[in-house]
Structure 1
Amino acid sequence: MAAMAWRDLLLWTALVNYLLLLTWFVLALLTRATLGPWCARLFGLTQAQYNQINFGGIVLYKLAIVFFLLSPAIVLSVKG
């Protein structure tokens, strides 16, 4: 039964992390015109570099969710 409890915890954690990822994505889209140039000036980046960093962070975060939360949850589901 402990395996199912771990699976449930991993799935709930994945859900919360996907909500955070969705929030990041929406904020990145909505504030691209206002926050992008400000951060670009602050850190000496071009707008394209700022967008690439943002997109890269979103991709890495999504991969981390899949590898560290969803994959173990799937293994526990198949095992249990």
Structure 2
Amino acid sequence: MIETRGLIDEVVSLGEELKGLRVCHINSTPFGGGVAELLVSYIPLLRALGIEADWQIIRGDRRFFTITKSFHKAS
């Protein structure tokens, strides 16, 4: 069993150092895929910690996304 109280306290403590920081996540889709699945719960957590978190969806045509997919697969 995971001891959650200590973990929560640690996250809150670390969040204090980041309070007021602004973070914008940019993704190509609002649903589906690993990034969107993470951000749907991550953004509210950051905001609860006082971090100004936002999530923007990038728009583009098929050619644009073919290029961005090649960046992703290059790693």
With structure 2 as the length reference, what TM-score do the two structures score? 0.30
* Structure with greater strand share of residues: 2
TM-score by length of 1: 0.28
Structure with larger Rg: 1
Structure with more helix by fraction = 1
